Amino acid sequence: MLTMAQINPKIEESWKKELAGEFRSHYFSQLKDFLVEEKKKYRVFPPGSLIFNAFNHTPFDKVKVVILGQDPYHGFGQAHGLCFSVPEGVPKPPSLVNIFREIQSDLGVSPPAQGTLIKWADQGVLLINAILTVRENQAGSHQGRGWEQLTDAAIRVLSEKREGLIFLLWGKFAITKKELIDNSCHFVLTAPHPSPLSASRGFLGCRHFSQVNTLLQQMGKEEINWSL
């Protein structure tokens, strides 16, 4: 059993400060214990060093856009801590293919050969899953273990302490997070999920990527270069 004093997650310093209370909480201690035991029995993704990758690439004060996913890809080698993204050399999953289709339609940008979205993250796009780990080949297997409390806290603190952020919520699960966001000082764009099961019902054609850049331009902020 790990004590709370022993929990010192390797996460970017500004986020560690903003989420310090969460890391000292009882639920996070239980989550840590769960992951220790889970890794004794199963393969867990992403690797421990990449669990907080989204936070590490996009410090708290650098966030301009938030894209929310549900949980990591559960196939070997796919998850690397950024929602919808895969490491270089890994085939693009269907949802990511549809994201690139929409960017091409919206902005005229040809789909890239690879599927890593690190370039977006480094420009201020927080690519965060609500659940940060998963058991191999078992989607949703770490649901309800505590990650949602941590990532809800991250969304809430962004809403409370920042202004003019743009939240892209795709699919029913992500859209439920609207209640955490103060839409009087932030922008919330919603659409169906980019999964092949729902993309044709409104994700394709949503034009969120051009809308984001229009909003950023209106606020005097640098636009996101969505090409990779």
Residues marked as catalytic: 71
How crowded is residue 21: how many other Cβ atoms within 10 Å of its Cβ?
A: 10
Query: How many Å apart are CA 165 and CA 158, to the nearest integer?
Result: 8
Query: How many Å apart are CA 200 and CA 215, to the nearest integer?
Result: 25
- Composition of the chain by helix, strand, coil, percent to 5: 40, 10, 45
Q: What is the Cβ-side half-sphere exposure of residue 186, based on CA atoms within 13 angstroms?
A: 26
Alpha-helix runs per DSSP H in 65-146: 94-107, 118-121
Six token digits for residue 183: 């839409």
What one-letter code names the amino acid at 56?
A: N
The residues near 88 (Cβ < 8 Å, ≥ 6 apart) are 114, 116
Q: Which residues pair with 45 in a beta bridge?
A: 134
**Taking a C-beta distance cutoff of 8 angstroms, is the pair 35, 133 a contact?**
yes
Beta strands in the chain (DSSP E): 44-45, 65-69, 125-129, 134-135, 166-170, 187-191
